[in-house]
């Protein structure tokens, strides 16, 4: 955990220093201490880079925790807000809010994001439970892919009929930390804080549920209440994050597996009292690294962080599916 936090601090400093205008670390320190070398550097750091970095830290932590939480609730290592349709539900609801209801403010359509995320998660779980075998990991993943494809098609149909929604959607759908300010962060911070508290508070119950529903119930866990608390946390964390930075796919899938590897290396084991905080630290590190890379490889333009995260997460997802397939054979 200390190493991950140290890496996160390093990436935060690089996020403030690097970009279309590289700012030497000495000038960054002078600006932080209140002695900026120039007005330009001061504006770049405090008006652009610092809000962008803080947004990456908070939304990355939210998406990392929501991914770990979904994998724990479903006991499915392929679970992820993007794969199970939660991000697609929030995206569709936001597009409808803009195109149909004319909502233009973040605080206005964040409520639509929550409703869409919750409706999509309920639909995926309902479809995954159909049949004799119940909600198996493979059925949940297939249901999530089907719901995501359906909602993506509906989203495309809406944005193609509304120019304002299309203009907002084109940049937002790629998943980016750019063009955001401190006000955007402050608007979603209460939702992220409540979601994080609910997620961390459910960690002991998740450890019990990992042993099976019968064992967890015999230990006094109220499974329905635990699942409701977990789903509420996922909806708050994912809905608020997607409303601001857009749908960043695969981040919630990849990070919990990295956290498990680190926990296993440290001799902790699959203890969600550590896995959730580890996921909350690793995810923003990955998101900031993708954002820094996107800013530096294509200067003076940039590649959105969501594109680079998907580029890295796609092969990881394929390898994970193949590994599980071979294990089942």
For 31-62, the pLDDT digits (tens) are 888 888 888 888 889 888 999 999 999 999 99
| Joined tokens for residue 274 | 């550590």
User: With bands split at pLDDT 50, 70 and 90, how would you rate the model's confidence at 133?
Assistant: low
Mean pLDDT of 3-12: 94
Distance CA 314, CA 324 (A): 16
Q: 226, 202 in Cβ contact below 8 A?
A: yes
d(CA 220, CA 226) in angstroms, rounded, equals 11
Residue 108: its pLDDT value, please? 76
pLDDT in tens, 270-309: 889 999 999 999 999 999 999 999 988 877 788 888 888 8
Task: Find the mean pLDDT for residues 142-148.
Answer: 86
The model's pLDDT over 224-255, given as tens digits with 9 standing for 90+, comes to 788 889 888 988 998 888 888 888 878 888 89
* CA of residue 27 relative to chain centroid, distance: 32
Q: How confident is the model at residue 139 (pLDDT cuts 50, 70, 90)?
A: confident
Cα distances (Å, whole numbers) of residue 194 to 79, 85, 153, 232, 235? 22, 22, 32, 10, 11
How confident is the model over 86-105, as a mean pLDDT? 84
DSSP 176: -
Q: How many H helices and E strands in the chain?
A: 15, 0
Q: Which two tokens stand for residue 250?
A: 């695969």
């Amino acid at each position: 955990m200390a190493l991950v936090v140290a890496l996160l601090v390093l990436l935060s400093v690089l996020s403030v220093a690097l970009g279309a205008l590289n700012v030497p670390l000495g000038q960054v320190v002078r600006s932080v201490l209140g002695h900026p070398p120039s007005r330009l550097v001061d504006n770049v750091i405090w008006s652009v880079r610092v809000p962008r970095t803080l947004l990456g830290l908070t939304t990355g932590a939210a998406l990392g925790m929501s991914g770990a939480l979904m994998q724990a609730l479903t006991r499915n290592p392929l679970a992820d807000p993007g794969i199970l349709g939660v991000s697609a539900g929030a995206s569709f609801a936001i597009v409808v809010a803009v195109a149909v209801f004319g909502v233009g403010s973040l605080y206005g359509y964040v409520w639509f994001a929550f409703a869409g995320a919750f409706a999509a998660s309920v639909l995926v779980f309902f479809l995954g439970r159909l049949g004799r075998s119940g909600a198996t990991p493979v059925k949940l993943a297939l249901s999530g892919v089907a719901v995501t494809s359906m909602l993506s098609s509906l989203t495309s149909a809406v944005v193609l009929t509304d120019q304002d929604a299309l203009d907002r959607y084109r940049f937002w759908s790629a998943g980016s930390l750019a063009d955001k300010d401190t006000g955007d962060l402050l608007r979603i911070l209460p939702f992220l804080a409540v979601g994080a508290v609910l997620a961390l508070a459910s960690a002991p119950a998740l450890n019990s549920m990992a042993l099976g529903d019968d064992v967890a119930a015999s230990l006094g866990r109220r499974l329905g209440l635990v699942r409701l608390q977990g789903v509420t946390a996922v909806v708050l964390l994912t809905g608020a994050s997607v409303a601001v930075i857009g749908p960043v796919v695969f981040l919630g899938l990849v990070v919990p597996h990295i956290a498990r590897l680190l926990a296993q290396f440290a001799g902790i084991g699959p203890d969600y009292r550590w896995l959730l905080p580890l996921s909350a630290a690793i995810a923003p590190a990955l998101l900031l690294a993708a954002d820094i890379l996107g800013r530096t490889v294509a200067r003076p333009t940039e590649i959105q962080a969501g594109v680079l995260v998907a580029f890295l997460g796609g092969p990881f997802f394929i390898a994970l599916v193949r590994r599980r397939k071979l294990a089942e054979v």
